[in-house]
Every structure is written in structure tokens, then in C-alpha cells.
Amino acid sequence: MSGLGDLDPVVSLQFRKNVQEVLVDVPNPDDYFLLRWLRGEGHMVFQKEEDLDNIMNWQPSEVLQLYDTGGLSGYGREGCPVWLDTTGCLDPKGLLLSSSKSAMVKKRIQILALLLRECELQSEKLGKKIETFIMIFDLECLGLKHFWKPATEIYQEFFSILENNFPKTVKYLIVVKAPKLFPVAYNLVKAFISEETRKKIVKLISPDQLPAEYGGTLTDPDGNPKYLTKIKYGGVVPKKYYLQNQMKMQYEHTVSVNRGSSHQVETEILFPGCVLRWQFMLDGSDIGVGIYLKTKTGEQQRAKEMIEVLPTQKYNCHLVPEDGTLTCTEPGVYVLRFDNTYSLVHPKKVSYTVEVLLPDKAFEEKIQKL
């Protein structure tokens, strides 16, 4: 039985008869292909829309080639391709300002197509069907910058594409060097990952198929344990690649902060480990922004009566989006405060969104036990 399962011979014959006109243009319409088609939600439509037959001929921009992460490390004990992705080293904002969301997603689709092609090559080489691959995600440097909303939307779209259009192709998803923030990151994407994929467990990979950096034996010719000849480690994108200085955002609220006054946005945090995320844009010259923790609930408090968590900083961000994140170390009511008390003449119009990113409690408990 394959990773996809087996297709009943009678069902296979009838199905081929029903779709014979479509299969004329398919290079290798074996039972494995038919199963993937049946299991995928609109896979054939997706294949046509994304031109998967020619996607390996697509050349990503220079910045994506240099600063996107990952590479084909080797093969698992049973012959499955192994993709190692140093996601924690990714500069999501730099890449999005230097490229586009669609290009970044297409680059990820190209990676999936590459892995499937490697499966076909391994099948020919080993004389048995190889139809799944292993993905390793190194999250050592995962930080709050990775929780920027446009970035998390790309991660979510990638996993959605993986589940809906490349069904049952993942043998294992392996996470290494997971930081304390990982439960929050996992909770952001788990809705886009099937229950079956979530249950994938870590299996051993031969040392000669992994970089020495990860306990294997692979090195560069000069002995570098990172195996840079195959694995891209990303890094901060130089601003010379930037095509834009901002991204268009949508906001949930708009308020006018009168001269000599402030506007407070309260958010209740029920338990430690949550991430408070906010985005705002100002239609005016400048405004102060700070984060406070209330000492009394159920009543309005002045700034001096609350605990200052992030000191007020003045932003000169006229029509330029700003964003921020905070890992909340204790429960309570947190206040995002827009401060215009210093302005004696001009009111300020502010558009903003405030969200709470919750950790996945199961993964949080596992990390705490390590």
C-alpha cells in the first residue's frame, strides 16, 4: 500500500474511462496520479492555474534566490527527499518589501514541485514508489518579527496549498530548535494543517543526509558544517532590494485623537505567553504610542496610574503603516495608548488593528517539559 493508499482496480478502470479525455495530456497517469487527483481538492484546477508543468522553468527574483531559506539536504532511510528549511533566519518583512506575496508563495509552490520531481527520480533509481517527502523546519531564531501579519498570512497560505493541492505527500514534518514562541506560531497555522499531518512523528534520517550543523556528516568543501552549497540560510535583506517602503494594510478601527488628549485601546490577556500584535497608520504629523498594564480593572486609568510596559515612542508616520508585537509575561488588561497630549493645535486621525495571538497549549506544555 502506498502513502496515498491503493486504488481499487475496478474503480481505477471506470475512473480512467470517465476522464480519458483529460488524461490525454497527462505524461504519466498511473494509479498514484489518479489517487492524488481524487484526494486533492481541485488539484487539476490548481495545476493549471499555477502552470505546475512549467513551474521549474520559472526563475525567482535575485532577492528570493539569495534570501529565501531552505534546500534539499538529502534523502531519508526509505529514500524520501529531505527538505531543510531554516525558517527562523528568514527576514519576512524585507522579502515582502523587496518582492511580492504572490512571488513568495510561488517560490514555495516551486519547492513542493521540486520535491515531487525528486520523488519520481528516487522511484526510478530505487525501483520502488517514492511518493512522500520530509520537511525539517529550524526555528532557532524565530522571533516577534515573524508574527508580522502579512508574513503569517504567507505561512498560512503555504500550508493550505500543501494540504489541499499536494495531499498526503508529507511523510514527516520535523521542527528543531523550537523557541518558547513556537506554540504561538503553531497555533497560527494549525487550522491550515490536517489532523493527519499534525500527527506525523519524527523518524531518524541517516547522518550522511544531514548537514553537520544538525548532527549529520554533510559539510561544504571547506568544512563548513552549515552545508551552504545546498542550504540557503536567508538573513536580513539589504534595503537596496526594496521595491516599496510599505505594504497596504486594512484596519478594523479609525479614531480621531483630539489635541491635548489620548486614546486608549484595552485588551484583556487571560494567561502568560500570548502575543499582543498591533498595526496602525496615522493621518497627521506625529503621535506617541506606548503599551501599559492596568493596575485596576473596570475603570479608566491615566498613564501615570498604570504600569508602563513599552515606553511611549513618538512616531512620525503620516500615511505609513507601523506595527508592533509584545509577548505578554503576565495576565491582565493591556492598554495600547495613542498619545496626543503634547499637541496644542492639531487632532490626529489614527487607523488601527489590535489582535491577541494565542499559544497552542499542548505544544507549550511539551516545550516546558524539555
Model pLDDT, residue 132: 93
Model pLDDT, residue 201: 43
Cα–Cα distance, 106 to 125 (Å, whole number): 28
Handedness of CA 189, 190, 195, 197 (dihedral sign): positive
pLDDT digits (tens, 9 = 90+) for 329-345: 999 999 999 999 999 88
Model pLDDT, residue 234: 93
288 with 308: CB under 8 angstroms? no
- pLDDT category at 270 given cuts 50, 70, 90 is very high
Cα–Cα distance, 185 to 171 (Å, whole number): 21
Read off the pLDDT of each residue in 246-253 and give the average, rounded to a whole number. Answer: 86
Residue 290 scores a pLDDT above 90: yes
- pLDDT category at 94 given cuts 50, 70, 90 is very high
Cα–Cα distance, 292 to 224 (Å, whole number): 46
Query: At which residue does the C-alpha cell 494594510 appear?
Result: 249
For residue 82, the tally of other CB atoms under 10 A from its CB is 24
Model pLDDT, residue 4: 44
- pLDDT category at 19 given cuts 50, 70, 90 is low
Read off the pLDDT of each residue in 232-249 and give the average, rounded to a whole number. Answer: 88
Cα–Cα distance, 60 to 68 (Å, whole number): 10
Nearest of 166, 169, 75 to residue 125 by alpha carbon:
75
- pLDDT category at 240 given cuts 50, 70, 90 is very high
Spell out the residues 6+ positions from residue 162 whose beta carbon is closer than 8 angstroms to its own: 112, 169, 170
214 with 71: CB under 8 angstroms? no
DSSP 57-74: G----HHHHHHSEEEEEE
Spell out the residues 6+ positions from residue 254 whose beta carbon is closer than 8 angstroms to its own: 349, 350, 351, 352
- Residue 190's region, left for phi above 0, alpha for psi from -120 to 50, else beta, is alpha
109 with 55: CB under 8 angstroms? yes
Q: Could you tell me what percentage of the chain is helix, strand and coil, using 3-state DSSP and rounding each to the nearest 5?
A: 35, 25, 40
For residue 279, the tally of other CB atoms under 10 A from its CB is 21
Distance set, CA 234 to CA 70, 135, 159 (Å) = 8, 17, 20
Candidate from 33-47, 48-62, 291-305, 318-332 with smallest mean pLDDT: 33-47
Ordered structural domains, the chain, with CATH:
43-241 (3.40.525.10)
Nearest of 238, 216, 236 to residue 227 by alpha carbon:
216
Read off the pLDDT of each residue in 290-299 and give the average, rounded to a whole number. Answer: 92
Cα–Cα distance, 256 to 315 (Å, whole number): 16
- The percentage of residues in the chain with a pLDDT greater than 90, rounded to a whole number, is 58
Residue 259 scores a pLDDT above 50: yes
Residue 41 scores a pLDDT above 50: no
For residue 140, the tally of other CB atoms under 10 A from its CB is 12
Average pLDDT, the chain: 85
Model pLDDT, residue 7: 47
Residue 138 scores a pLDDT above 60: yes
Residue 247 scores a pLDDT above 50: yes
Model pLDDT, residue 245: 76
pLDDT digits (tens, 9 = 90+) for 155-191: 999 999 988 888 889 998 888 888 889 899 989 988 8
Model pLDDT, residue 10: 47
Amino acid in position 346? H
Model pLDDT, residue 42: 46
Residue 366 scores a pLDDT above 70: no
Residue 126 scores a pLDDT above 60: yes
Beta pairing class for 348-357 and 253-257? antiparallel
More confident residue, 82 or 23: 82
Read off the pLDDT of each residue in 33-39 and give the average, rounded to a whole number. Answer: 57
**Residues shown for the chain:** 370
Cα–Cα distance, 108 to 110 (Å, whole number): 5
Model pLDDT, residue 1: 38
SS3 per residue for 234-251: CCCCCHHHCCCCCCCCCC
pTM score: 0.76
Task: Using alpha carbons only, give the angle 158, 163, 169 rounded to the nearest 5 degrees.
Answer: 105
Amino acid in position 331? P
Cα–Cα distance, 260 to 347 (Å, whole number): 8
Model pLDDT, residue 105: 94
